[in-house]
Structure 1
Amino acid sequence: MGIQTNNTYTDARIRKISKERIQAELDKRNIIIVAGFQGINSFGDVTTLGRGGSDTSAVARAAAFHADFCQIYTDVDGVYTADPRVVPNAKKLPEITFADMLELASQGAQVLHNRSVELAKKYHVNMEVVSSLKNIPGTKVKEVIKLEKTNIGGVAKMDNFARFSLVGLEDCPGVAFKVFSLLSRHNVNVDIILQSVGRSGSKDISFTCPLSSLDDARRVLEENKDVLEYDSIEVDDNVAKISLVGAGMMTHVGVASDMFEALYDAGINIQMIATSEIRISVLVNKDDANRAIKVVHDKFFGNED
């Protein structure tokens, strides 16, 4: 009710919220129950908002009505420092920033979908993740929170992607542009990118992409081998990404080294590394993923039960 979308039927984007009907019922002090996850396009057809659509439609309506906050009822009782199914001693956060929550959601935390957090941040809608089964406080998601001793928000895992390596590319300007513009034209989304230092006139480029794009990426690269002029291509879908998230972590000395130390002590090999102002991500073997997230979590949050 009241959500107008574009014409992408199964992964639609919200264009407008019509609130007159709902407002009329609210003015009568009625309790309103509306469908989430769906909208209507310009042809009057029903569309769905894709993964996380219920959260996204709830936040969009809260923004349209300038609500004080939006509660998301789910099967967990809040946002944890890691997935408690993998890390039993994960701790529930009383509050978390939009930035940290968005990064955790983008890196594999499944509590909230990143589209809903993006909307909440853009339109200043404070959120709260609460349990639909327990009457206890949840986790508030907002712009500013009270600072704790640690600046780390949590650890997340993703294992639904593959690593590509193009070996023996020519070491000259424009090669990276050729590779990634080609992938972009075929709708292959790329995440971590690593380029080696050129030696003897050649270099290697490695990158990750979603498993759903693996076949398309391989086909495009193999069909254009003569254009890209690489020696060989390597593909590994037995990888996982472990991400440590926390606002301002890059300004705190020792965060990266502590993470790498935890993995070293556990005998876990790092294949690739990517960083941002609020995230450090490493690529590891998928078989090591659960152990990796546990040791990294214990390094920063302790291992007490």
Structure 2
Amino acid sequence: MSLIVQKFGGSSVANAERVFHVAEIVTNTYKQGNDVVVVVSAQGDTTDDLIAKANEINPHASKREMDMLLTAGEQMSASLMAMAIEKLGFPVVSLLGWQAGFVTSTAYGSARIHRVEPDRIRKELDKKNIVVVTGFQGVNRYDDMTTLGRGGSDTSAVAIAATMHADLCQIFTDVEGVFTADPRKVKNAKKLSCISYDEMLELATLGAQVLNNRSVEMAKKYGIELEVLSSMTNKPGTIVREANKVEEMLISGVAKDNDVARISIIGVPDRPGLAFKIFTKLAAKNVNVDIILQSVGRNGTKDISFTVGRDNLQDTMDLLGPYVEMIGATSVVYDDHVAKVSIVGAGMESHPGVASTMFESLFDANINIQMISTSEIKISVLIDQDDADKAVSVIHRKFYGDK
């Protein structure tokens, strides 16, 4: 008998028909003699609808009260799922995050999981119940409800799998697995049978909206085998596991991220320590910086450009505005009409010429590169947002051909 954790996203449980379809997937797994823990997201656009309701009342509501509101979406989803499983004639119980033992930090809206105490889950499994758990949420040391931020239900599922030493953690979504590019945008995208943790983590971080990057990081840390598959079709998905078991490919995928902005500090005095001071100030405000480019010094000054998430743009500009004058720089400017396009693949580490192939495809398509960032298994370029979809297509065609 195996322990299987199954997570279903909002699109998988969007309406009554889909809830019953998921209930059949869950109960079929249970009938095969497995213990089953189900993690669910809020139905469809429920979270967005709750945010809209909050804005009608108080657009500046505290993050604590927003968490109290938003956790209701998953509670509704979990109870409805339990009702469907119950109607099919199977023993089931639904649990809120705190009942399932999720203890988190106090960062409302973006809490981190400190630990999972799964005693209640174990007791329910011992009773032969299917256990349905609300994803995306937990409780902090003040006994307040907290949410885990975007993609938090993936992280909830992997945390349960890690804590309970599950045999498999399945992430059900609206695509059939992990593809070499977004199959909704690139018609010849290929589904991967396997991908390594490191490659999946890079793709998730770089904009591939299949798995949350925190969940992949946790799965790698605890050696949890993941399967990404569709709840809409009965087909095998993509296995995420250690690299030595993964099929060898030059690159595993092309990803696009529109949620970026480029910030440039112009005329920074060419003195030691100023870059350190600038980025230390940003780190103190929890601003994550990605691609960084520093020009060669000229006339005693240099320019420093870097990218941040678009949601951090205003905070970064507010922070740097007065500071730029203090250090003697000329100005700080931004561009939020940019996109980051990346290729990821463990194969590129031992194959020279991957970068030139990528850049050639962009040159042939007359797409200008603004910034470049590389690692052992990743190459990212910053380009104009209007060129992003075309860039993904031409890069994919260059590496995979038309078939």
Which band: TM-score by shorter chain?
Answer: over 0.9
Q: Which residue matches 1:205?
A: 304
Structure 2 letter corresponding to 1:277? E
- Alpha-carbon RMSD across the aligned residues, in angstroms, is 1.4
Does 1:167 pair with 2:263? no
Aligned to 1:232: 331
Determine the structure 2 residue equivalent to 1:121. Answer: 220
Distance 2:105 2:273 in 1: 36
Q: 1:157 aligns with which of 246, 250, 256?
A: 256
Q: Which residue of 2 aligns with 1:189?
A: 288
- For the residues of structure 2 that align with 1:20 and 1:28, how far apart are their CA atoms? 13
Which secondary structure state, in structure 2, belongs to the residue aligned with residue 67 of structure 1?
Answer: coil
The corresponding residue for 1:9 is: 108
Shift of the alpha carbon at 1:91? 0.7
Structure 1 residues 186, 62: closer, same or farther in 2, change over 3 A? closer
CA–CA separation in structure 1 for the residues paired with 2:279 and 2:240: 35
Q: Deviations over 1:41-62 (max 9, x none)?
A: 2222222111111111111001
SS in 2 for 1:192: strand
Q: Distance in 1 between matches of 2:189 and 2:327?
A: 46
**Retained in 2: the 8 A contact 1:96–1:145?**
no
**What letter corresponds to residue 19 of structure 1 in structure 2?**
P
Indicate the residue corresponding to 1:42 in structure 2: 141
Which structure 1 segments of 5+ residues have no match? none
What pairs with 1:1-305 in structure 2 (closer than 5 Å)?
1-144=100-243, 146=245, 148=247, 150-304=249-403
**CA displacement at 1:200 relative to structure 2:** 2.5
Gaps of 5+ in 2: 1-99
Query: What letter matches 2:138 in structure 1?
Result: G
The separation in 2 between residues aligned to 1:187 and 1:28, in whole angstroms, is 44
Count of aligned pairs: 304
Work out the CA distance in 1 between the residues paired with 2:147 and 2:355.
40
Question: In 1, are the aligned partners of 2:194 and 2:246 still within 8 Å (CA)?
Answer: no
What is the CA–CA distance in structure 2 between the aligned matches of 1:6 and 1:292, rounded to whole Å? 40
In the alignment, the residues of structure 1 paired with residue 128 and residue 313 of structure 2 have an alpha-carbon distance, to the nearest angstrom, of: 52
SS of 1:39 mapped into structure 2: strand
CA 41–232 in structure 1, closer or farther in 2 if over 3 Å, else same: closer
Return the TM-score normalized by structure 1: 0.95
Residue 177 of structure 1: how far off its partner (Å): 1.1
Per the alignment, in what secondary structure is the counterpart of residue 191 of structure 1? strand
Letter in 1 for 2:384: N
Runs of 4+ in structure 1 over 6 Å off: none
CA distance in 2, matches of 1:218, 1:16: 36
TM-score between the two structures when normalised by the length of structure 2: 0.73
Q: Which has the higher helix share?
A: 2
Task: Say if 1:38 and 1:46, in contact at 8 Å, map to a contact too.
Answer: yes
* Partner SS, residue 70 of structure 1: strand
Offset, 1:100: 0.3
- Tell me which moved more, 181-190 or 229-238: 181-190
Write the letter of the residue equivalent to 2:339: A
* 1:65 Cα offset (Å): 1.0
Which residue number in structure 1 is paired with residue 56 of structure 2?
none
Q: Is the 8 A contact 2:248 2:347 kept in 1?
A: no
